[in-house]
Amino acid sequence: MTSPRDHLPELSTEEKASLTSGADFWTLKSIDRIGLPSIMVTDGPHGLRKQAADSDHLGLSESVPATCFPPASGLGAAFDPELAERVGVALGVESAIEDVAVILGPGINIKRSPLCGRNFEYVSEDPIVSGVIGAGLVKGIQSQGVGSSLKHFAANNQEFERMTASSDVDPRPLREIYLRGFERVVKDAQPWTVMCSYNKINGVYASQDPWLLTQVLRDEWGFEGLVVSDWGAVNDRVAALVAGLDLEMPGSDGGPDRAVAAAAGSDPAVAAALDASAARVLDLVGRAQARPAVAGPLDVDAHHALAREVAGRSIVLLKNDAVDGAPLLPLAEDASIALIGEFARTPRFQGGGSSHINPTRVDSALDALSAAAGDRVAFAPGFAFDAAAEGQDALRDEAVALAASRDVAVVFLGLTDAEESEGFDRDHIDLAAHQLALLDAVVAANPRTVVVLSNGSVVALPFADRVPAIVEAWLLGQAGGSATVDVLLGTVNPSGRLAETIPHRIEDTPAFGNFPGSNGHVRYGEGILVGYRWYDARDMAVTYPFGHGLSYTSFAYGTVSAEVTASGDIAVTVPVTNTGSRDGREVVQVYVAPVASVVERAPRELKAFASVEIAAGATVDVVLTVRREDLAYWDVRVDRFVVEGGAYRIEAAASSRDLRGSVTVDVAGDAVLVPLTPESTLAAVFAHPVAGPMVAGAFAALQEQFGGEGDGIMSGEAMAKMMGSFPIGRLPAFGWGLDREGVDQLLAAANAPQG
């Protein structure tokens, strides 16, 4: 049986060029004479957005009904790749029913700043969480014969000037933070496509960066699929093709295709690149054709039930203090409830832009709580979304009066579509002043107040010390209203954890002062200290730390053990006991750091996690694997990842600041032989296996001449520290044992091939 690729030799240069751009907004070109059909790609990362008529990239035109699952900001908080894979399966099923070949997602860009308007589409501030959850989604989608598109590759962490700005980032943070999650997904799940981002990276458009798209993605990571542009991301089509971009989307007037064909006719390098890209497009079509036709219909109820389950698992219980001797949540079965806030009646369950789904149905918290609690519930909107709308005072007064008359007040606050969306960044992390004023008045009237948040990225919580219970409910998809009520009533025991730190102020955040940049450049000045790494390195107070989340039960951790396996990975075991009276789920987190390092490192970095169901009173031995490759840092001297040898501290934790136990293991290091130059310091020379012994005698003589053991100019130890930073190429000028010929001979011997 022939495959589409078999027809490549039959195609003209013009036909090959035509394959490397779209036919229109969502489809690829067909070639009738070889029987090549057109296939469809479409958004989105948390639900299918197949537009029924007019096409656009900003969610303006109506799309076919589909299940809106929790966006990545919610799904990431579940810390569960198996749950993500189940969502991926559902996305694949819905795509297959609609004959969509590739669904554009997931998005796993790092949440560098809480101000990024698209953070609701991204998983975490941590690359391991982003990579593991992203891989789960990709595996699930592609198990249904539908392709995924891993995006946005890479260093695309803001909306301001997103199509032109240069993300200026040093090699270590680029590799360790911004590329690591993509590497995990590519190696573990092999997405059918990877979508390049709009922005430049260190001055080069991602769409035409051969280092990014070919050297890193294909040569180093072994990516086997197709690279597609974000919609409108291509600046120079020929340069992009040669760099490794296979498919430009959307379609155009044909001018770029003609430019590619002309260049291929005169330049063998372009012709070779065109052949490779056309072959990958043909392979993609072949993969899509291999999926059997799926007639449907969609099981709307089953997918809505899954969306509700996932939403419940995504909710993070931030605070649950005791009031009158008992935690305020779950709500007492006989409590009268004042349900306050327009978000409870009109839920904001997804973000704006290209991922905006036309849901099959939408649950509101008001409807769900009313159905469950009957006349124990009374509702007041409390505010209008538009702060400038008339009647805000009257709405507030009504809500306060209701709160005063009930046993407990549940206040829904959050961000509106106008405050966060694809296409622009937020100016601050504050909730609207009129919402905060409402909360102040409600708490004064009824201290038994629960706050429920609806937001796609973190917000400041100036009231955290003044309300007894806070529920972070993110944007939870179409079943979020019911799922939130499940948690409030205790039907679901909350198990979500923060995949991003909640700071006190925007001024405390790592990128403050370097976001969103100016004059076409944004400097990633915080380096590797992104998210919790920044706060922990500075021992800085936060409102709630990365990984934090409470339960309606309690968990105790036993003694942590760890051993290095034959593969070099670290197997970590920690017994966890549910010490409460309810079944529950604990997210066990493993943080790792070398006890000593030659480079800057964060105090701890998340390297493994597991979401584990534990029955009341039961103990489970939780086994987690820390991959050896995740211990490595990017060594700029040799331009590769390196694992330092020595002792590593392994910490089992319930958050980055709730450490429950630790153990130390010894890890064998990678051999690193750094070439010596005249600029190499004496410390580097002494540490070199060849050069070190050659200069040891001369240095000992210098110590004796100038210091000895403290009776000379300086002690031997002080002398060693001073001389350690001295470039060896400058020794001859001081007459300290080596002339220039001696330095040259030493460097030649050190850099000669060994063995």
Catalytic residues, which ones? 230
Strands 193-196 and 226-229: parallel
Q: Cα–Cα distance between 169 and 155 in angstroms, integer?
A: 8
| Structural element, H or E, at residue 600 | none
Strands 316-320 and 469-472: antiparallel
Strands 584-594 and 337-340: unpaired
Q: Residue 445, Cβ neighbours under 10 Å: how many?
A: 18
The letter for the amino acid at 544 is Y
Helix axes 480-489, 365-373, angle to 10 degrees: 40
Q: Cα–Cα distance between 244 and 214 in angstroms, integer?
A: 6
Q: Cα–Cα distance between 113 and 426 in angstroms, integer?
A: 10
**CB 497, CB 140: distance < 8 Å:** no
**Residues linked to residue 562 through DSSP beta bridges, in sequence order:** 572
Tokens representing 261?
């064909």
Q: How far apart are the first and last CA of the chain?
A: 52
Strands 658-667 and 646-655: antiparallel
Burial class for 345, CB neighbours closer than 10 Å (0-12, 13-18, 19+): middle
Residues 6+ positions from 35 with CB-CB distance below 8 Å: none
Q: Cα–Cα distance between 621 and 605 in angstroms, integer?
A: 22
**CB 66, CB 299: distance < 8 Å:** no
- Kindly state the DSSP code that residue 431 receives in the 8-state scheme: P
**CB 351, CB 421: distance < 8 Å:** yes
Closest CA to 238 of 194, 208, 282: 208
Q: Cα–Cα distance between 211 and 244 in angstroms, integer?
A: 9
Which SS3 state, helix, strand or coil, does residue 42 take? strand
Q: Cα–Cα distance between 702 and 566 in angstroms, integer?
A: 45
**What is the 3-class SS of 462-510, one letter each residue?**
CCCCCCCEEEECCCCCCCHHHHHHHHHHCCCCCCCCCCCCECCCHHHCC
Alpha helices, DSSP H, located in 637-753: 682-687, 691-706, 716-724, 740-751
**Residues linked to residue 316 through DSSP beta bridges, in sequence order:** 472
Q: Which residue has the tokens 């790749």?
A: 81
The rounded Cα 296 to chain-centroid distance in angstroms is 33
Secondary-structure percent of the chain, ordered helix, strand, coil, rounded to 5: 35, 20, 45
Q: Residue 539, Cβ neighbours under 10 Å: how many?
A: 7
